[in-house]
Amino acid sequence: MSKGRKILIIDDDAVHLYCAKEILEDAGYSVVLHTNGFGATEAVMTNCPDLVLLDVNMPGLPGTALATVLRGREQTREVPILLYSSNDEDSLRRDAKRLGLAGCVSKGDPSELRRAVARTLAAATGSSSAPPGETTAPTRGRRPP
């Protein structure tokens, strides 16, 4: 399921950026990195990712502000976005819902990162497949082709 799926990770923290990259590449995803919010809209348009994993706490342009920009542009509004942060989960969920995003995932749990990405991609493509023991929940994101 993950073969050929491209994920763009936008995070200013090099440790989290490269840890997430390794986790997702080990799961079979193609991963592209971007180190801050500035230029991220162009990175999304250039790389055409199947999903954006977006850090919330970035200097200059926080992830929530960037998500608003991405949702406001016709070329990027359908790309599924998962907020990715060390913030408390309730706050992340509220922000994701308020912004109309696919969801959120807390940093630090590799298994949950893999599950959240797989669930989001399955929902975005209309696939009923999900990791074992998981169900897909409706999300806002890229519409099936």
- For the cut 90, the answer to whether the pLDDT of residue 142 exceeds it is no
* Rounded CA separation 26/57 (Å): 26
Phi, then psi, of 59 in degrees rounded to 5? -70, 145
pTM above 0.95, yes or no: no
Q: Which two tokens stand for residue 124?
A: 């975005």
pLDDT at residue 75 greater than cutoff 90 = yes
Q: Is the pLDDT of residue 121 over 80?
A: yes
Distance CA 40, CA 93 (A): 22
Residue 112: strand, helix, or coil? helix
CB 7: neighbour CB atoms within 10 A?
26
Q: How many angstroms separate the CA atoms of 48 and 82, rounded?
A: 15
Give the amino acid at 119: R
Give the C-alpha separation, 95 to 130, whole Å: 24
CATH code 3.40.50.2300 for 6-124: yes
What does the pLDDT look like over 14-65, one tens digit per residue? 999 999 999 999 999 999 999 999 999 999 999 999 999 999 999 999 999 9
Q: What is the dihedral of CA 142, 15, 87, 44, to 10 degrees?
A: -20
- Rounded Cα distance, 7 and 25, in Å: 10
Domain ranges of the chain: 6-124
